[in-house]
Amino acid sequence: MFRRIVALIVAGVMAVMMTGCNVNKVSGGDIDAPVTGEILNTASDFVVRGFIESIFNNDRDLFERCFPESVIANSNELDIDLFEEYRKSVGSEGKFLGTQYMNYNELSEEGGYNDADNYRASISILTGIPEDQITTMHIEHIKVYFDVNGTNRYTEIYALAYESNGSWYVYELKDNEKGFNAK
């Protein structure tokens, strides 16, 4: 079951990252400061940005901290290298420049999403965290910037992050803004 869930998540990453980039003139103010390990799990936008940055910057330590220890342990037990699977599934012809936080929607009934309980249950199954300890879920909207042959480009990422016991973790990338706006 865990292996199937991981395969779906990795496939989702590939679909999201490869949907194409938009041309954009990037200024220094567009790209946020890189996420550090000290702030990674303190907010939903940090964990999602850190997740993306870790993949493109080849930072395994930062990547593994984007998930609860149980997810990494289960992956290792099944001989799945999550970090390498994600790295192989995403790519860009250009140079990674950084990320930018745009905004978020709270994934809850109050936030207009009627499937919040299903997401909470899925997260619980994958991580082993009891549903009542998954306190908040956000769908984050992030821009990822690249330099492709001297042209600045970006792609937009939508990802689900959740809070448990005061720490934020990544669950999955969403395929497009449809999930972000589908309330």
Neighbours of 15 (CB within 10 A): 13
CATH of 2-181, one of 3.10.520.10, 3.40.50.2300, 3.10.450.50, 3.30.2320.20: 3.10.450.50
Q: Residue 127: its pLDDT value, please?
A: 96
**Domains in the chain: boundaries:** 2-181
For the record, the structure tokens of 170 come out as 């990544």
Per-residue pLDDT of the chain in tens (183 residues, 90 and over written 9): 555 455 445 545 444 444 445 555 665 668 999 999 999 999 999 999 999 999 999 999 999 999 999 999 999 999 999 999 999 888 667 899 999 999 999 999 988 899 999 999 999 999 999 999 999 999 999 999 999 888 888 889 999 999 999 999 999 988 665 555 554
Pairwise CA distance, residues 49 & 59, whole Å: 13
